[in-house]
Amino acid sequence: MPSGRRLPDPLGGGPSDQRGLQGNRENQQGFKSTSDGGLREWKTRFVFWYQKKMWMQKSQNLAKKISEDYAGRQVHLVCVLKGGVFFMCELAKRITVPVTMDFMSVSSYGAGTESSGVVKIVKDLDQPLDGKDVLIVEDIVDSGRTLGYLMEILRKRNPKSLHLCTLLDKPERRVTDVKVDYTGFNIPDEFVVGYGLDYAQKYRNLPYIGVVEGVE
């Protein structure tokens, strides 16, 4: 991997020198409450995978392919909140055909790293999908439960076409069959954060994508 630039530590510890991605770590220490009201020390470690230059280039490549596939048409991007916002913004800026956007939030995670298996709509779309060429934009496809449920709902709203684009995909984690039409990176079974992805609503603003180690 190429050497990275020095990035500010989003956790307050000053800049971290990212020389290479995978295997490069940054530590954060603090304290968390215990069930008896006490405190115990915890540590979080980040393993860097993808820097800004990498996912920016991937966004450009995906946008080029999408523009070719939707030539002569308008594509209606449906962003899956919250994590998909970062990726969709970069993607939309690079798509050369007309673009409209809407946002939807469908959740199946609790406060931890495992999907709860219970899918619920947190925010529905503002616009109808009838007759539109719809492209769902996700940050990551994991088990496929959430996306499978979402796509089933959206198909009933009579779009002209319905496809899926994701920055990250974990195919080995799939339990529900979901067809991904545009994929940025296939990744192994690790819980990743940064560039919109979170752990318990934290770390979305990291300027890289990495693995959090040491969380519970």
Which residue type sits at 57? Q
Catalytic one of 102, 126, 133, 142: 142
Cβ–Cβ under 8 Å, residues 103 and 78: yes
Pick left, alpha or beta for residue 37 (phi over 0 → left; psi -120 to 50 → alpha; otherwise beta).
Answer: left
φ and ψ at 18, to 5 degrees?
A: -95, 95
- DSSP class of residue 111 equals S
Cβ–Cβ under 8 Å, residues 168 and 140: yes
Cβ–Cβ under 8 Å, residues 66 and 75: yes
How many Cβ atoms from other residues are within 10 Å of residue 197's Cβ?
23
Q: Is 142 a catalytic residue?
A: yes
**Joined tokens for residue 58:** 């991937």
How many Cβ atoms from other residues are within 10 Å of residue 30's Cβ?
10
Residues known to be catalytic = 142
